[in-house]
Amino acid sequence: VRLPLVTKDRISRQIEIEFEGRPLVALPGESVAATLAANGILDLGTSRTGTSKGIFCGMGVCHDCLVEIDGQPNQRSCMIKVDQPIKVCRQQFPGGQLPDNNINQTNHGGIPQIETPELLVVGGGIGGMSAAAVAAESGAGVILLDERTQLGGQFCKQPTPVHALPKEAVSDVQVTTGRKLIERITNAGVELITDTQVWAGFPQRDVLAVSNGHTRFFRPDRLIVATGAYERGLPLPGWTLPGVMTTGAAQTLLRTYRVIPGERILIAGNGPFNIQVALELAKAGATIVAVVESSLRPGLRSLAALYDMYRGSRQLLFDGVRYTRDLKRRRIPLLYGHNLVSVEQIDGGLQAQLASSTNGIRQSSSSFD
């Protein structure tokens, strides 16, 4: 489901694409995966076992969302932006092969000139931008590379321009933090090179990257690698089915592209991030059937840990209390001591099997559709 635009020029900003003969409407700057999800398409291909698969990590790591675009196979639909009409097809295992006449024809611009900045930062998230800002403000010449077209990384995800609110209307702390950092590094004179993939690193801090189809060769005096982290999905039966995705992928669809990946959503795992995203999805209109938390309900045994949390970051602790309170207010079940054990495809969606356990011993099981 695509949420309404915050701007009023929706009609003039539409792009028509085609998915296996079906015409779809895309918005400029959104990913192919977001366009497909907005139109209810989550089945993007077939695995080696013959089962369907779709977007999983949402950040270009897992390659489960590979599709064929304009005849080119192995395109990451979560990373490719829509800026013109395209034809998209599902990709079947073992994946498409480039035509023989395309082999060894790729031209990345010949032998590149060596670029020698004082500092090269790889990664445009909160860590990379903070490092680049401090260095540039201290007088260093800084180049920052990022694989995405927009800076912000995972923590400071920025909405696509078509969805962006005026600065004074933004109340989200993470979006605001990212926007301020982008302004800060821009004002400090950091050279920003986005939509660029670093594919090799060598001794002497030599770095090779591909940017706009051309190879770039960097040999900086100093190198900072701030590529962040990605979620660790636990393998279990059904974990690659269309509609099963990481919490981060669901948040990216919502925050960056204003797309809700489903009407009824179960969120399972560990940690406060799941609760945060559950509330964001609920506020956007999704029905959260439950939040499944693998850790046990906080009690007397948790006092020491809670005290350490209070000493480390009072604000984060208070945020956690507020999140759980908001879940109760919205009547969203929070199931402590439960784990997701399997997912099955059923008519009209998915069925998730849960198990509760104490000290590693399964006590009971339940399911959600």
DSSP string, 42-59: ---EE-TTS-EE---SSS
- Angstrom distance (rounded) from CA 359 to CA 361: 6
Mean pLDDT of all residues belonging to the chain: 89
3-state secondary structure 251-274: HHHHHHHCECCCCEEEEEECCHHH
225, 124 Cβ separation under 8 angstroms: no
Is pLDDT at 142 greater than 60 in this prediction? yes
Neighbour tally for 317: CB within 10 Å = 17
- Length of the chain, please? 369
With tokens 């594919």, the residue in question is: 199
What is the pTM (predicted TM-score) of this model? Answer: 0.88
pLDDT at 105 over 50: no
Question: What band does 298 get if pLDDT is binned at 50, 70 and 90?
Answer: confident
Domains and CATH numbers, the chain: 11-99 (3.10.20.440), 114-225 (3.50.50.60), 263-368 (3.50.50.60)
Residue 101, pLDDT above cutoff 70 = no
**The two structure tokens encoding residue 176:** 């605001």
Q: What is the pLDDT of residue 354?
A: 94
Cβ–Cβ < 8 Å for 46, 93:
yes
CA atoms within 13 A on the CB side of 99: 5
Backbone angles phi, psi at 364, to 5 degrees: -160, 170
Contact 344, 245 (CB under 8 A): no
pLDDT tens digits for 303-352?
Answer: 888 888 888 888 888 888 899 999 999 999 999 999 999 999 998 889 99
pLDDT the model gives residue 311: 87
